[in-house]
Amino acid sequence: MRTVYWASFPEDNFFISELKYYSPKNILKDLDNKKFFGGAGGVCPAILDDARNTFSIKAPIDFSITFDDDWTHANSKYEYNSNFIEKFIGNIDDKVIQLAAPTYLFFSEESLIMNQLPPYYEETEFTKNCIGLSASFNIAHWFRVVKPSFRMRKDCKTIDFNQGDSLTYIKFFTDDKINLVQFDASPFLTSTLMSGIMGYKQNRKFSLVPTRLQEGYEAFKRANYNKRILKIIKDNLL
């Protein structure tokens, strides 16, 4: 059994209230294995073991916008004001978008790679129009917000999802069973630890050269951030 601490972490309640957030949910709980994977696939250990430590992050709201041809304006299906939409989708970098919510934190006492993945078993309007991006880091050696990121498919200009649709998957690379333990992340909203982590990439000699993950991991441990973060988490378990 491997414990992973997790928390919803709305950085600004103007975006989405924490009351709308879903707990990470194992993807097998939403599937009828034999129907989805077939008779043989539904009992195949290679398939089931791959999914066992994979969890879905779900949309907290209904959302549907369509961009105009030059991507400078979006029309909303729902009554959201333009300020909310602009902040929710953030900057569009060559059709790549990172949503402002939902946002989560994950941490492990032991070395553990977490992979953010596209919601590849979902068949929704969101997956029809958008390609989820994949990224990974060691959640024992780094502590950062996880949020849905994706690229618009070719010739698609609509982002459309319903509350409860999977926006991204989170996979933990271990053969051990994952035990998710929730904590209250509100102390981190004002903690200098978060600004220290986000500021690590700033004020560098060559600002455009990417920071290696290993370099960040070493700095994280050198500053005892792993111990300091774990103490806050354990003091705020739910």
Task: Please state, as a whole number, how many other Cβ atoms lie within 10 Å of the Cβ of residue 221.
Answer: 14
Q: Is 90 left (phi over 0), alpha (psi -120 to 50) or beta?
A: left
Distance CA 137, CA 114 (A): 6
The Cα–Cα gap between 205 and 184 comes to: 37
pLDDT digit string (tens) for 80-123?
A: 988 899 889 988 888 899 999 999 999 999 999 999 999 999 99
pLDDT of residue 122: 94
Which pTM was predicted? 0.92
> Does residue 68 or residue 199 have the better pLDDT?
68
Name residues whose C-beta falls within 8 Å of residue 191's C-beta, 6 or more positions apart in sequence.
Answer: 232
Domain boundary assignment for the chain? 2-235
pLDDT confidence tier of residue 222, bands split at 50, 70 and 90:
very high
CA 56 to chain centroid, in Å, comes to 9
Per-residue confidence (pLDDT) for residue 198, from 0 to 100: 80
d(CA 132, CA 161): 13
How close are the terminal C-alpha atoms of the chain, in Å? 19
pLDDT per residue over 8-46, tens digit each? 998 765 678 899 999 999 999 988 888 888 888 788 888
The tokens for 140 are 């024992």
Say yes or no to pLDDT of 202 above 90: no
Helix H or strand E segment including 39: helix 33-41
The HSE-up count of residue 100 (CA atoms within 13 Å, CB side) is 20
Q: What percent of the chain has pLDDT over 70?
A: 95
CA-to-CA dists, residue 170 to 6, 64, 83, 87, 188, angstroms: 12, 24, 29, 24, 21
The answer to whether the CB of 164 falls within 8 A of the CB of 125 is no
